[in-house]
Amino acid sequence: MPLYQNQNLIIYNSLSKKKEVFTPIEEGFVGMYVCGPTVYSNVHLGNVRTFMSFDMIYRYLRHLEYKVRYVRNITDAGHLENDADEGEDRIAKKARLEKIEPMEVVQRYTLDFHEILNNFNNLPPSIEPTATGHIVEQIEVIKKILAEGYAYEVDGSVYFDVLKYNEKHHYGILSGRVIEDAIHNTRTLDGQSDKKNPQDFALWKKAEPVHIMRWPSPWSIGFPGWHLECSTMSTKYLGEQFDIHGGGMDLKFPHHECEIAQSVASNGVSPVNYWMHANMLTLNGMKMAKSTGNNILPAEIYEGTTNKLSKAFAPPVVRFFMLQAHYRSILDFSSEAIEAAEKGYNKLMEALKTVESLETSSTSSFDVKAWQQKCYDAMNDDFNTPILIAQLFEGVKQINLIRDKNTSITKDDLYLLKETIHTFTFDVLGLKNTDNQKGSDKLDGVVEMLIAMRNEARDNKDWMQSDKIRDELLALGIQLKDSTEGTSYIVKN
């Protein structure tokens, strides 16, 4: 019997705005789509939190023995500045500024995205489709929406008719927005746009001469609207109706609202049974933004190259910190908070070592089965990782009591305790032991010796020898980091 049949999983559904018992469309199978990044810059730390949250959800669903098809897209075209229907494509703008091809931008930041998530031990999705790889399918969806009367063409551009759609359906069903209020509070367009109404959104945009990312269509040489790709790719790989759609809270409106409207207009059914949204990450109590300087890149945390933190923190510590908060809660990132998380993480890892050498007895003073179910109860309650972590530390407490011979445990119960704490720590939360990443004291000594040899070579202007040491260490998975304070190293996964 699969494990999911013994556990009652409950998920908060953003659509109904309440917790609901999770019942997949097809027993034993879960289709999950998560909105991926627009690859025009380094992945934002807040986005990392979102992807980490859904990685944890993916891990738990797999642990429950569901067969999961996890689809997460790459937006490599169509996402205009300010999430609007006007302006320059974000990727094309980056390419123009750097005088390179748009696909060079896409390749660079897709690789960066994958490297960062890998460092935080995120599992890859089952399918990772791109917007540019599905232009033909997006054009076909537009044709269907036009045929149903929910879109119109103006001078080579095609727009979704929100007011027409709202006559029979509810535009705003996810976000709770009332279209009549939006109309009342919106100024007329005064001929500044070819839309009929300000609420309408682009399905296809005719490309201006300066727009370098363009494709042929029945309406014009142009490009698809940003919202369209997710509707197209999610239903292509998961069906017209699927189980879970996830993303950041900021995508609820307009992106996810538009996805629902497009899917209903083209297929006649609401596409998703459970909408899930991860909340935002702040930095020192304020919104993270490059423009204000209140920003930190994920790699800066574990490379120790930011003055916003007291030192470098290993990726598993960052992941542990993130999962200490519920995925639907706002989480504030600060040096003090992650320092505290590091202490808790180290305490958990130490207990995982201790549990390997515990002595057993003929009786148990600790009800391991009841404690194990409390771990499941936490995750079954909308993936409540902070409660799960609290339960893991109850396990840590018992491990230390057994070690000090203040309580006892049988051989069978010790096996169950060990298996449970390992499973939830490593398989479900996705943590790693930093001892396996940083290396031993002997490794530290060897690398420090090589760093000293490299520094001597650099002082002698022997750049060939300096580069050789650096490159050969990198080939072994050891990356050197030079800064004004000296050279440090990290062991890459």
Residues 267 and 327 occupy one common structural domain: no
Block mean pLDDT (10 aa), the chain, length 493: 96 98 98 96 94 98 98 90 77 89 94 97 98 97 98 97 96 89 48 81 92 93 95 98 97 96 97 98 88 87 92 96 98 96 97 95 96 98 98 98 96 97 98 69 76 87 87 83 72 58
Is residue 332 in some structural domain?
yes
Backbone angles phi, psi at 166, to 5 degrees: -70, -10
pLDDT of the residue at 445? 76
Given a contact cutoff of 8 angstroms between Cβ atoms, the answer to whether 189 and 198 are in contact is yes
Q: Is 291 exposed, middle or buried (0-12, 13-18, 19+ CB in 10 A)?
A: exposed
Q: Among 242, 233, 247, which residue's Cα sits nearest to residue 174?
A: 247
Q: What is the pLDDT of residue 181?
A: 63
Domain assignment of residue 464, given as a range: 439-491
CATH code for position 31: 3.40.50.620
* Summary count for the chain: helices (H), strands (E): 17, 15
Residues 104 and 71 placed together within one structural domain of the fold: yes
- The verdict on 108 and 243 lying in the same domain is yes
Examine the domain organization and report whether 390 and 477 are in the same domain: no
Residue 381 CB contacts under 8 Å (≥ 6 apart), including other chains: 10, 19, 387
User: Could you give the C-alpha distances from 424 to 184, 299, 374, 434, in angstroms and in order?
Assistant: 51, 26, 12, 17
Domain boundary among 278, 301, 316: 278
Distance CA 207, CA 283 (A): 38
What's the pLDDT score for residue 268? 96
Residue 329 lies in a domain: yes
**Claim to verify: residue 352 and residue 249 sit in the same structural domain:** no
Residue 205 near residue 214 (C-beta atoms within 8 A): no
Domain count, the chain: 3
For residues 246 and 279, give the distance between their C-alpha atoms in angstroms, rounded to a whole number.
11
